[in-house]
Structure 1
Amino acid sequence: MAQTLLVLSGGHPYEEGPFAEFLDAVAGLLPGDWQVVHYVHPEAEERVAAGAAKSADAVLFYDMPGYTFADGTVKTAAPSDAFKAALESRFLSGHGAVMMHHAIAGWAEWPQWSEWVGGRFLYQPGMVRGEAKLDSGYRHDVDYTAELVSDHPVLDDIPRTFEVNDELYLCEVFEDDVRPLIRARHDYVAENFYSAAHAVAGRMFDNSDWPHPPGSNLVAWIKQVHAAQVIYCQFGDGPHTYANPVVRQIIANALEWTSR
């Protein structure tokens, strides 16, 4: 009998064909027979609220729900109580999840989400854990070396260092509350990133008047959530990263580990 990999996406643009190929490749790396079930928001939220996460063997969040971007502004919303309860139930039961890339920005009106992820990407200046923070930074198409900084089954058969071309974030990472897995050899300072708030306002690739402090170079970590483990991987901006065989193996390892 096939096991189920539940994938949630939506709220952030991505190239659907290459991402579907990525999912098929990852499922093929998992032991046994796996079926990919993929829902896009708003249906994804409805399906989880109705029990899809409870019945899934593994869950991959590649979504950024709770936002509406229009005319240089951003509006935010929280998920339904049923959605919240469904995820809480999954984690209490000891079944984890994997969160990729822009999932760290999801559900700006639901602080519990960032606690589960282990960090927060801000599209606007806001409060994080009771402290005022500037909006986060982004930088596309960065060539960098990723380095393993832990020994863990998620990193089995992964080279100690490997090359990646991907988008990086200068965002809030709760380093004291997570187990580091992978760091990027990149200088996480404001001049190497662009302001997310400027981008929302129509000023793409602009870091003027944005004195963001230096940030964490963690790009993958484990967060304990109730009886479960959540794994966040910053990899995943587009086709170049989807096709990276090392990234595919890391995500497969993470899904297999959190499905136990």
Structure 2
Amino acid sequence: MSSNSQIENHESTGPKKKLLDQVRDVLRVKHYSYRTEQSYVQWIRRYILFHDKRHPSEMGAREIEAFLNDLAVKQHVAASTQNQALNALLFLYREVLHLPVEERINALRAKKSERLPVVLTKEEVEAVLNQLSGRNLLIAQLLYGSGLRVLECLRLRVKDVDFGQRQIVVHEGKGDKDRVTLLPARLIPALQLQLKEVKVRHEADLAAGFGRVELPPLCFCAQVPWGGYGMGLAVRFPGFQYIGGSADGH
């Protein structure tokens, strides 16, 4: 049995879920992002492996400090990385295991880097954009002109872009927050062209038996013939790989 599978099963016998599944459940109930979920689970797994697969309920502040010290001294992680590991372990003990943990963990702190951010000039940005074309150029222009993060841009749906108000609605951004940002007027023609291309792709997918989205059985949209087919749900920058779903058997 692999180390990962042993850790997943690192739970006392009985009806309770595996430890890492419990962590995932609590994170989702509290609406943490998927990326945070992946990060926390990974740090908890590493913590358990570091202590020879002892169950976290058998450990406490001393073991947390030893793990964090190793990250700082031997693995030379950044301060932000060490803080992320600490946050994951505090979440495990307080929110999942419901065990008290000392407020102050006396671990050696990783050295915090003090570097100024690199800010490109307008000329440098223009030089970068001049090396791009097509869809990649449009994505980069949105990142720069609308202040979108990479994942926010790639997850945009047709319904999120309001050409009339010249604005973009970002759903579930950083901190699981929605926000509205501007849509530069000069990008509207390129976005409208991208929309036409997405529509052609969407119609071709439907004709080939793809292009549906899975909806809960009790959802109103799932009760009507056009449920799951709307262009409003289409991704503005779709991928090139088909992923099957169970709603229609494809």
TM-score (norm 2): 0.20
Q: Which has the higher strand share?
A: 1
Q: Which has the higher helix share?
A: 2
Q: Which has the higher contact order (CA 8 A, sep 6+)?
A: 1
Larger Rg: 2
TM-score (norm 1): 0.20
